[in-house]
Amino acid sequence: MTDVASYYAGRRVLVTGGLGFIGSNLALRLAELGARVTVLDCLLPGQGGDLYNLHGAEGQIDVRIGDMRDAGLCRQLAEGQEVVFNLAARTSHVGSLQAPLDDLEMNCRAHLCLLEALRACSPGTRVVYTGSRSQYGRARYLPVDEEHPQCPTDINGVHKAAAEAYHLLYWRLYGLRATCLRLGNVYGPRMPVRDHRHGFVGWFVRLAIEGGTLRVYGDGSQKRDLVYVDDVVDALLLAGASPAAEGQVFNVGSGQPVAVGEVARLLVQAAGQGRVEMVPFPEEDASIEVGDFYADCRKIVSVLGWQARTGLAEGLQRTVEFFRQHRQHYLS
């Protein structure tokens, strides 16, 4: 396995979407490893970006507020970077159906602007792009491996698949050293918890902490692949440091499918309050529901030596404790 601690020490690293959930956890870890970290975020309202996500690392991380569609800004930031973690995105699936052109701008055009800047200014840079399980749509077989057809059920999934294809195309045509990760349901500290638009786990976390009712759609038996954010950060760091990852696509999941109803029950248990209620699917959610989904992660285990280490009960407990400690910054 690549020694990420020695690899990133002193390296210039750019994290786009670096004030968001996964990006901020990654930026903090990179700073701990001694990397020279710059984050770019446009703080798009309602998308999870928050300056407080980097609390405690002031002075260690160069924070730039700007839009990745700005070609001049992208060129300025791309110059001299050794690794780029491209996590910038609009993340709401229902929201993408309501505003598909906005989703196109942020999840496709913005990434082309970054890729063009890297091609022009830093063609030797390693770039790691984070896609989503939503690219697959409804599973034709389980567990879902990287060869599974991509047939998204919403606009966001289509655009995530397109952005991934751009990165791989730039690897084939221009030699940009790109790697793409397709993430499962990532959860943990700093995740969006203000509303339900960014996935059920964050919303359930908030409801449990506030002693509310966690409403589970259907009978709660639909399975998901939850993976703790620290494990995802480990996967990102390995992908950015490993030559074997270049030109590759990897699933990143826990390898332990869990029913949505069980997630709700574990959160109520972790919080020591709240209740679980089964309710029918709302129409807008039923139209994009994918049914059971969990990923086959044998490829990333084989090639990069990565695997999830955090058990679900432990990860949910850590998440509840984080948001209780910082509730005034995230729940208000």
- Which position has the token pair 């289509």? 158
Q: 116 in a domain, yes or no?
A: yes
pLDDT, tens digit, for every residue of 12-48? 999 999 999 999 999 999 999 999 999 999 998 878 8
How confident is the model over 250-264, as a mean pLDDT? 96
Distant-in-sequence, close-in-space partners of 176: CB < 8 Å, separation ≥ 6: 115, 118, 119, 123, 125, 127, 167, 170
- Identify the pLDDT of residue 287: 60
Q: 319 in a domain, yes or no?
A: no
Q: How far apart are CA 90 and CA 252, in angstroms?
A: 20
- Identify the pLDDT of residue 284: 65
Q: 151 in a domain, yes or no?
A: yes
Q: 21 in a domain, yes or no?
A: yes
What single-letter DSSP state applies at residue 220? S
Q: What is the domain-level CATH number for residue 15?
A: 3.40.50.720
Beta-carbon count within 10 A of 31 CB: 20
Q: Are 185 and 222 in contact (CB under 8 A)?
A: no
- pTM of the full structure: 0.96
- Which position has the token pair 């049914």? 291
State which residues form the domain around 238. 4-186+227-254+295-309
pLDDT, tens digit, for every residue of 74-112? 999 999 999 999 999 988 787 888 899 999 999 999 999
Q: 318 in a domain, yes or no?
A: no
How confident is the model over 276-302, as a mean pLDDT? 86
In degrees and rounded to multiples of 5, residue 181 shows phi and psi of -110, 135
Backbone angle region of 17, left / alpha / beta, with phi > 0 → left and psi within -120 to 50 → alpha: left
Q: 173 in a domain, yes or no?
A: yes
Q: Are 216 and 276 in contact (CB under 8 A)?
A: yes
Q: Are 257 and 223 in contact (CB under 8 A)?
A: yes
| Residue 116 predicted with pLDDT over 80 | yes
- Identify the pLDDT of residue 2: 81
Beta-carbon count within 10 A of 49 CB: 22
Picking from 285, 287, 267, the residue whose alpha carbon sits closest to that of residue 276 is 267
Q: Write the DSSP assignment of 253-316 as a string of letters.
A: --S--EEHHHHHHHHHHHHT--EEEEEPPPHHHHTT---S--B--HHHHHHH-------HHHHH
Beta-carbon count within 10 A of 234 CB: 21
pLDDT, tens digit, for every residue of 139-198? 999 999 999 999 999 999 999 999 999 999 999 999 999 999 999 999 999 999 988 777
How confident is the model over 313-328, as a mean pLDDT? 97
Total of domains in the chain: 1
The CB-side HSE value for 78 (13 A sphere, CA atoms) comes to 25
Distant-in-sequence, close-in-space partners of 321: CB < 8 Å, separation ≥ 6: none
Question: Can you tell me whether residue 130 is helix, strand or coil?
Answer: strand
- Identify the pLDDT of residue 94: 78
**Mean pLDDT, all residues of the chain:** 95
Q: How far apart are CA 184 and CA 131, in angstroms?
A: 9
- Which sign, positive or negative, has the C-alpha torsion 321, 324, 325, 329? positive
Structure token digits, residue 244: 């074997």
- Identify the pLDDT of residue 255: 84
Q: How far is CA 101 from CA 107, 151, 171, 193, in A?
A: 10, 19, 27, 25
* pLDDT band at 71; cut points 50, 70, 90: very high
Q: 286 in a domain, yes or no?
A: no
- Which position has the token pair 């990397």? 35
Q: 140 in a domain, yes or no?
A: yes
Structure token digits, residue 286: 């039923």
